Structure 1
Amino acid sequence: MDNKRRAPSPPSTSSAVTKRARQDSSGPPANNQIAISSGADAGKALVRSVKRTSSLDAPIVSLAGAHSAEILSCRFDPTGQNVAACSADRGISLWRTYPPNTNYALLTTIHKAPVLDIQWSLTRPELFSCSADKVVAVTDLTTGTRTRRWRGHTGVVNTIDRAIAGGTELVASGSDDGYVCIWDGDEKDAVIELAVGSPVTAVCWSGDGTQLFVGGLDNVISVFDLRREQIVYSLPGHTDTIASLALSPSHNHLLSTSFDSTVIIHDIRPFSSSPTRVHRTLYGAPAGNENALLRGAWSRTGEGWVGVGGADRTVTIWEVDSGKVVYKLPGHKGTVMAVDFHPKEPIVLTGSKDATMLLGELDNT
């Protein structure tokens, strides 16, 4: 494979901030004693007992060394065993979530320009990606080779999402050309093209795959009914470009981020009691002046928390019901571009303009 970098027995490219003894991941996390301050007399070191809540090797794990430029999107696979990240350096990296956190592949020939977004397939060992080269690609993860290149856009492709609809996995892509294309893995050309009228920066499927939420430079989220191929309603609330969209685990709420530095939780149930459908507006994650597409996420082991990165180099996690900030997580040296939550354990994944990712253990999600 000319586009896949491997080493026979690669050393771990991750660095654990706080090491602990390896334990059986099938058992409950243990309390660990950690020296947080020590002097010349080792017997007088300050020791704390830290309750562990995940199977990570340490409470914070750094994934670094694969990319030379900012990470634009990073996501856990559906099992939580692997992490994929894409970068402005045109590469896509694959990592092990659990020790030894190996960077076991670096794909450098899938795209010819910065890779802006990625999604794991829900049905096959494949990865979907989109790029500034105007292409949506499908990569076979068993071989590391590109198996399909979808050419339908005439502008930069900013965002993708996938869903199962009628037993078929469909991929939606949004572009600066003002169109959303719907792709079927067995077809060469787009099966549906939706004219939005302004550059598209965020797309998100509904739970049943019959509707598509689309955000862009017009500051409004348009909801398309794919059976009729038309807008059925809109979600207002933001005053600047929509940066990302994410569906809640119950499929009842939609998270949106924006250049206006607000995060809005929209009520998308068929019979919402709110005329505007704004369930909650959250503050605390500054978007900055970089016009970056900051990608937010829902905790997937429950619907209580959402997380978004910011230009202040931190990740903000809110409790949705109260609107309170429950975590403000530092650690990166640049704007935090992407956030994702582990599907089974209380672990948050973050990617930054500093070209690194962090895996962080949370108390509860």
Structure 2
Amino acid sequence: MATKRPPPAASSSLVKRSRVEDEDGSDAAASSSLVPITSSRDGKDKGLVRSVKRTSGLSDPILSLNGGHQGEILDVKFSLDGEYIAAAGGDKSISIWKTYSPNNHVTSLQSHNKAVICLAFLPPSTKTINGFPSSTSSLPLLLSGSADSTLILWSPLSPPPNNKLRRFRHHKGIVNCVAPSPADATLFASGSDDGDVCIWNTEEKQPLESLKVGYPVTALEWTKDGSGLFVGGIDNQIHLYDLHRKQILYSLNLHTDTITSLTLSPSGSYLFSFSLDSTLRVWDVRPFAISSSNGDAAGEVNEEDRASQERLYRTLSGALNGADALLIKGGWSRDGRRIILGSGDRTCVVWDVESEKILYKLPGHRGTCTAAAYHPKEPIVVSSSTDGQLLLGEIEP
């Protein structure tokens, strides 16, 4: 049964982060105390504090959220209204934090028997679940997937035992990914090491259907209209499944290692994928027809290669998968112009998509940055790490 863990050890502290050009401060967030902001890039004038133009409603430009977990954090998400943060821990728990001051550790959700791997907030709905209202801005609902092979639907702001709404059992392996449908707030998909992709209704304990992919599934994302599902796994490819016709529409095959993250842009036109090959690719997934005129002179055409080349929009480099080979995750900015991603070099990386340039390489973590996310309304980002802390801060809009 889910219980509320008291949060006396949890705390937030002000720390420094640098832009990609900065030369010092790579471990600035390691301290739980205030780190002075230097006035020069070589760090000599440490007694001077530079005025910082504020860009958000955070109490401080950078905050370290500590004490929510006893060990690594594997995923982090903002609630859809941006008021709360949820973090998935290797210690079997989920921590819930307030985004804005005071940055309290609100509660911990505990019911999984093994590490919590993935999280997703449900979009708002007017329906009820177990007699409780579905996700609203004041009472969001949260899905979690775990190494114990189950998923749980939570009302994280409700007092226990009412915060645990339903447990979903079907998978026979680690649940690596969960994705709510953008078209129906009661539908979501999950992917597992058992090779199944399951489509669920939040009101049913068993899946509505199961796609037998045949290999471990590590990343999922819906199409904008909810009719299709992008599936990534250890076959190094991304397959778009048409859920109505029960067939693969096309595959994207330019990665050379396991897919760790799939995220659709706010417009629904572009999909980004990250892989253990340390490349981030942005794909044009609008439903245009692939030209049949491409191919070699002999007329031998590899349909998957052609689809991949024609749909590839940008290739972004600068993030590393890390020696621990974790499923590193990221997200889009609300305007679709930027992407943020965790990295194995203890940073999180922010790119401008059009120019393919790195805007920030944000330091502060002491272990692999496992996940990073953009706030849905303000220029705020959050990142999680194997070091057990969350870094929350503002950047330039």
Q: Does the 8 Å CA contact 1:180/1:194 hold for their aligned counterparts?
A: yes
- Structure 2 residue 165 is matched with structure 1 residue 163: no
Where does 1:42-191 land on structure 2 (aligned, <5 Å)? 46-108=48-110, 110-123=111-124, 124=135, 125-141=140-156, 142-144=158-160, 145-165=163-183, 167-191=184-208
**Matched residue, 1:330:** 363
* Cα drift, residue 37 of structure 1: 5.7
Where does 1:3-14 land on structure 2 (aligned, <5 Å)? 3-6=3-6, 13-14=11-12
Q: Deviations over 1:306-343 (max 9, x none)?
A: 01111110111111001011111100000000010000
Higher relative contact order (CA 8 A, sep 6+): 2
Q: Where in structure 1 are there 5+ consecutive unaligned residues?
A: 19-33, 39-43
- Structure 2 residue 296 is matched with structure 1 residue 281: no
Given the alignment, which residue of 375, 378, 391 partners 1:342?
375
Matched residue of 1:50: which SS?
coil
Identity of matched residues, %: 47
Partner amino acid for 2:71?
A
Check 1:49–1:160 CA distance in 2 against 1; reply closer, same or farther (3 A cut). Answer: same
Partner amino acid for 1:95?
W
Distance, in Å, in 1 between the alignment partners of 2:38 and 2:281 is 41
What is the root-mean-square deviation of aligned Cα atoms in Å? Answer: 2.0
Q: Does the 8 Å CA contact 1:73/1:87 hold for their aligned counterparts?
A: yes
**Greater share of strand:** 1
* Cα drift, residue 140 of structure 1: 2.1
Distance, in Å, in 2 between the alignment partners of 1:340 and 1:272 is 32
* Cα drift, residue 50 of structure 1: 1.4
Q: Deviations over 1:219-252 (max 9, x none)?
A: 0001111111221111111000000111101100
TM-score, length basis structure 1: 0.89
* Cα drift, residue 137 of structure 1: 0.9
Q: Does the 8 Å CA contact 1:16/1:57 hold for their aligned counterparts?
A: no
Check 1:263–1:135 CA distance in 2 against 1; reply closer, same or farther (3 A cut). Answer: same
Partner amino acid for 2:153?
V
Distance, in Å, in 1 between the alignment partners of 2:37 and 2:336 is 34
Distance, in Å, in 1 between the alignment partners of 2:396 and 2:38 is 23
Partner amino acid for 1:113?
K
**Matched residue, 1:296:** 330
**Matched residue, 2:19:** none
Q: Does the 8 Å CA contact 2:75/2:370 hold for their aligned counterparts?
A: yes
Check 1:35–1:345 CA distance in 2 against 1; reply closer, same or farther (3 A cut). Answer: same
Check 1:172–1:282 CA distance in 2 against 1; reply closer, same or farther (3 A cut). Answer: same
Q: Does the 8 Å CA contact 1:202/1:243 hold for their aligned counterparts?
A: yes
Aligned residues: 339
Where does 1:189-228 land on structure 2 (aligned, <5 Å)? 189-228=206-245
Where does 1:8-47 land on structure 2 (aligned, <5 Å)? 13-17=11-15, 36=37, 46-47=48-49
